[in-house]
A and B are shown apart, each in its own frame.
Chain A
Amino acid sequence: MEYITITTGFLIILAGLWAIMTRKNIIRIIIGFSLFDTGIHVVMVSMAYVKGGVAPILDKKELLTDTANKIVDPVPQALVLTAIVIGLGVTALMLAYAMRLHQEKKSLDIESFKDLKW
């Protein structure tokens, strides 16, 4: 089952990269970044799956003995937990920049911000 989720995650990463490189509206580029983040998290969590394992919460009595053969890997889940919150922070920061850029030039097209080109 984890083959299907890894394939889905990689296809969403490709879709996000395509949106970043091809679209011209700034808000669509930011939507592409958000899709890219979601794809990476799906790939990371599906690397942690062990065949026939349960969630790593030891609330039943029979999970206390011989724990290491019954649960899935808890370390990538802890990393993805942090990464989701940081992804939200970076998206909010990019949207604040987009709002200020629109205030200066009244346009959302990325071709109209060529001030730094020589």
Chain B
Amino acid sequence: MEFKIITTLLGILMLAMSLIAIYHKKMIVAVIATGAVGLFASIMYLFLAAPDVAMTEAAIGSGLSTIIFFYVLNRIRQNDKEGRESDEIDEIPNK
């Protein structure tokens, strides 16, 4: 019975984190939210009796993937220093 409550809570948290990842204005928060979705998925794999998959998802999905995103964001920010901020692309009003 406790498994059902915890799994429901984890599901709601995962959905909230994925909505933050799509709709938040800053890019850094979106990337960290993607890593958090991977972390909650790793806990869910433990409840589904799959320890191998949980270890792999925790190491790769919420560790290495976030680091590669941060490298790319750093490089883009350096290149774009004199132009517009790259966070404001989604809110172009009249295009």
Contact = CB atoms under 8 A, between A and B. Distances in A.
Q: Do chains A and B touch in the complex (CB under 8 A)?
A: yes
Interface of A: 1-2, 4-5, 7-8, 11-12, 15-16, 18-19, 23-25, 27-28, 31-32, 34-35, 38, 41-42, 45-46, 48-49, 53-55, 57, 72, 77, 80-81, 84-85, 87-88, 91-92, 95, 98-99, 102-103, 106, 108-109, 111
Interface in B69-95: 69, 72-73, 75-76, 79-80, 83, 86, 89-90, 92, 95
Contact of A34 (B4, B65, B83): B65
Interface size, B (range): 35 or more
14 contacts: A8-B11, A11-B11, A12-B15, A24-B89, A27-B27, A38-B38, A41-B57, A49-B49, A81-B53, A84-B56, A84-B60, A91-B65, A102-B76, A103-B79
Interface string B30-62: 110010011001001101111111001100110
A87 B80 CA distance: 29
A15 B19 contact: yes
B44 to A, nearest CB: 6
Interface of B: 3-4, 7-8, 10-11, 14-15, 18-19, 21-22, 27, 30-31, 34, 37-38, 41, 44-45, 47-53, 56-57, 60-61, 64-65, 68-69, 72-73, 75-76, 79-80, 83, 86, 89-90, 92, 95
A19 B22 contact: yes
A109 B92 contact: yes
Contacts, number: 136
Contact of B75 (A32, A84, A99): A99
Contacts of A81: 52-53, 56
A99 B49 contact: no
A20 to B, nearest CB: 10
A9 B65 CA distance: 20
